[in-house]
Chains A and B, each alone.
Chain A
C-alpha cells in the first residue's frame, strides 16, 4: 500500500479550461481499506470538478465523522476542509454558507453520520435548501467501529455476526424527496460513468443536491459463511494476534447502459441488483419519484440515477433575502449603525 504519492506527472497531462491538470484537484493519499468504494467516489469527485474547470479553492469540503468523512482529505488539497463532529456537518455547512454565499459547498457524509446521529441535521439542512452538494457514501455499516449495522442496512441482509437485519432500513433518497430537496440522485461507487455526470448535475443545481452513493464496505459487509469474510480470514490465519488485519480487496467496478439492470456481486458474495434510470428521464414530481423508488424496491432492485429535480428551487439565501455580497466581506460601514443611532435608541427608552 502506498503512503506517499509520487511527484511525477506526465508533462502532457490533460489540462482543463483553467489550465490546471488533475493534480491540482487531488488530495492526500487515502488511508481507507484497499478497494474501498469511497475511494472510487473520491476519484469521481476529482474528475467532476476537474472536468467542470472549477477553481479548486472556491470549493469548501465539509464532513462529519466516519470512514466517508475522512475522504475530504483525499481530494482538493487547495480547498479548505472542515472535519466536524459526528452527524453535525450540515449545521457547520449552514453557518459557513451563510458567511460566504459565493463558494461551492461540498458536504460528505456516511450512512451512520446521516441516517442516525445526524438524522435531525440532515432533515433540516434539506428543509433549509442550503445551496450545497450533500454526498452520502452509503455502505450500510459503521466501518470505523468495525462493522455495526447502520440505519440504511437492508432489512433481512446479514449482519457482521451473521444475523439478518431486523429493522426496516431508512431510504435517504425517499426521505430527501419528502423533505423537499430540489435534487435527489442515487449512484453506485463503481459506476463512475454514471456518477461523474450525476455529480456535475448536482453541482450545477441551485439549492441542496442530495446524492446517495451505494459504496460497499470491503471489510465489514461480510457474512461469516463467506470464505472472504473478515472472520473467516482471521480464523484461518496463522498469525492470529494481528488483530487489525484487513484483507486486500479489489475495488468493485461496473458499467452498464441506462434503462438496464445488472446484478453486482459484493465482496461477501451477496448480490445487489442495480437498475439504472434512463438518462433522459427526469422526474419533477415528488410522488412519481417516490413511486419509482418503491417499485424498484419491490422488485429487489436499487434504482440509480437522478431521481428527482425541482428546476425552480430557491436556496436558503434567496429565502432569507440575503445581500449579494458575502456577509464575511462586510465591514464596519455596512454593519455598525453608529453612535448617533445608539443615542436615539437610548432616547426611545426614556
Chain B
C-alpha cells in the first residue's frame, strides 16, 4: 500500500456527534497547527440541531497558504458510530482512519488501501477518569493527544496550548493535559510507525491571525462607532451581535458609572430588528442589524422604506443555504439578488462583499461611513463559511486618525445660516441631499420622513413629475455610490488572454488556488475579485476585454452572473457559470474541474457562444 506521505499539506477530518464537546477539542488541534506557524483552515460542518446528529470538523493544513476547502480527507478521526461506514469510505486512498476500538470495526469494513489506527478511546477514558462528564469530554482530547504523536507534532506544543487555553482555570487544565498524554503515549506505544503525515514548524503564518468573520464584523461595527443594534437571533448571524455586545461591554462602558455607550435590543422579530436599526439611523446614531436569508425576506419592506426615505443603516447578512429555511447551518452565496434589489418597486441596495475576516472588519467599518454618506442601507454580504469558521487572515488594523464620515448632516448652527432648506434638494448634484436630525433647531429643519412619494421639501405628493424627479435623483445617487464603493482586485496573467474569471466573497481562496492549478496545467486566466455592488467601471472593462468570463459563486442560479448580465448589459452567454450549491464551501477541485471540463468540451474559441447549464457542470 502506498501511504500518503506529506508534510504540512493534508486534510484531517473529525467525525463527531453534535453536542459531545468535540468542537473545542478539534479547535485545539487547529490552534496548535496555527501556533506552529503552519497555515491552517478549519471548517465546521455541523447539523441544524443541538445534540445527537453527525457533525464534522475539517482541518486543512497547507504550507503554501491555500486555505480554501480542498475536498477529500487524508486522515479521518471517526468517533461517531452513525457515520462510521461513510467516514471509512471517504478516506482518500493511502490515507488514515483512526477509530475508537473499544468497539471493534465490523468485519465488513474491508479496505486494503488505507491505514487503520485503532485506539480504544472510551476504554482509555473510562480507566483514567471517574467523572461521567469528563469521560465524555476527554475522549475527544485523547484523540487529539494521539494526533500529536502520529502527526509528529510532539507533546509539548499540545500541552502548552491546553495550559494557555485554561490559564485562568487550572483545575480544568489538569484533566486535559492528562488526556493529551494518554492519547500521545498510547499512539506511541501501539502505532509507532503507522502515519506518514507530519507537521513541521513553519514561518509561513507570519503575523496572520486566526479569527472568524462574525467576530471581525462585530469589531468593525464597534470601531465604526455603532451604538444601536436591533437584532433577532438567526443562524449563522447570531454571533455577530453577541460578539458586538461582548466587545461593547468591554470597551464602551462609562468608567465612573459602568453605564453603556451602546444599546443592543433583541427584538421580537426581524421586522422589528431592522425597524430599530432604521429608527436609530434616522435619529443620528450609527445603527445596524445582522441577519440571514429568512431575515432579509422579512426586512425587505423596511429596506425599501430606508432606500426611498434615504435613511442610513447597515445590515450584515450572513448567508446560509436557502430558499426558505433551506439548510440553516450550511453555507451559500444565495441572497445576492434578494439583497441587491430587496423590497418592492425600483429599489437598489449597496452591497459589500468581504472575502476574509479582515475584510469583514474593514468593510463593516466602511459600511457605516458609506451608509451615512449615501444615506441609504448598506449590506455586508458575509456567509456561514466566512462568518462562523476561523480563517487565517491579516491582523486587524485601525488608523487612529480616521474620523467617521457622517455625511451631509446639518446641525443647528448650519440651519441658522440657511434661509431655505429642503430635505430632498440635490444641492451638490451628486444625488445626496442634506439631512437634519430631530431636535436640532427650534424652528428650522423639521420634516416628516415617509415612504410615500414626496417632493424636494419632503411634502407628500402624488404629482408624477415630482415622483419621477425623486426616483431619477436616486439613480444619480447610485452613480455616486459606484465611485465610492471599493475597487475590484484585478490580476492579469496573460495580456492577450481571452478568458477571465470573476469571483467574490468566500469563494476567493478556493478560486485563487484553482487559478494556480489551472496555470500549472497550462491554462492562464485573468481574474477579478468583485468587492461591491454597484459595480465599478473596472468590472465592465474587465468583462469587455475578454471573450468569455467564468463567474464563480456558491448558489444554484448563478446570481452574480444574472446581476452582471443585467447591470453591465452583457450578453448572458459571455458569462459562464462555475457554481457549487451543496451547502459546503466550494473547493479548488470543483472550480478547476468545471473550468477544465468547459474548456475541453467547448474549446476556448467557442466559449463565447455557449453557456452550459449548471446541471451539466456540477
Contacts and interface: CB of A to CB of B under 8 A. Distances in A.
B259 interface: yes
B225 A98 contact: no
Contacts of A98: 227-228, 263, 265, 276, 279-280, 285
A88 interface: yes
Interface size class of A (residues with CB under 8 A): 35 or more
A241 interface: no
Nearest to B394: A346
Contacts of A34: none
Nearest to A60: B438
Given A78-B443, A98-B263, A346-B209, A91 B451 contact: no
A337 B259 CA distance: 16
Interface string A320-348: 11111001101110111111011101100
Most buried by B among A88, A317, A322, A338: A88
A94 B395 contact: no
Given A120-B269, A342-B396, A350-B35, A83 B452 contact: yes
A90 B287 CA distance: 16
Contact of A92 (B223, B282, B402, B443): B282
Given A58-B439, A95-B279, A323 B254 contact: yes
Interface in A83-138: 83-85, 88, 90-100, 102-103, 120-121, 123-124, 128
Contact of B279 (A82, A83, A320): A82
A125 to B, nearest CB: 9
Nearest to A56: B442
Contact of A99 (B209, B280, B305): B280
Interface in B261-299: 261-263, 265, 267-269, 271-285, 287
Interface in A152-207: none
A60 B230 CA distance: 20
A49 interface: no
B271 A77 contact: no
Given A100-B285, A322-B259, A84 B305 contact: yes
Given A57-B439, A82-B449, A323-B260, A336 B225 contact: yes
A337 B249 CA distance: 12
B211 interface: yes
Contact of A91 (B251, B263, B276, B398): B276
A93 B265 CA distance: 12
B222 interface: yes
Nearest to B395: A346
A83 B282 CA distance: 12
A327 B400 contact: no
Contact of A94 (B265, B396, B447, B450): B265
Nearest to A101: B263
A124 to B, nearest CB: 4
Contacts of B277: 95
A81 interface: yes
A328 to B, nearest CB: 4
Nearest to A336: B223
B187 to A, nearest CB: 28
Given A78-B446, A103-B438, 8 more contacts: A81-B446, A82-B448, A84-B305, A90-B275, A95-B281, A99-B280, A99-B283, A327-B285
Interface of A: 55-58, 60, 72-73, 77-85, 88, 90-100, 102-103, 120-121, 123-124, 128, 317, 320-324, 327-328, 330-332, 334-339, 341-343, 345-346, 349-350
6 contacts: A84-B278, A100-B284, A322-B259, A323-B259, A338-B400, A342-B223
Interchain residue pairs A-B with the least CB separation, the first 4: A95-B279, A91-B275, A99-B285, A81-B448
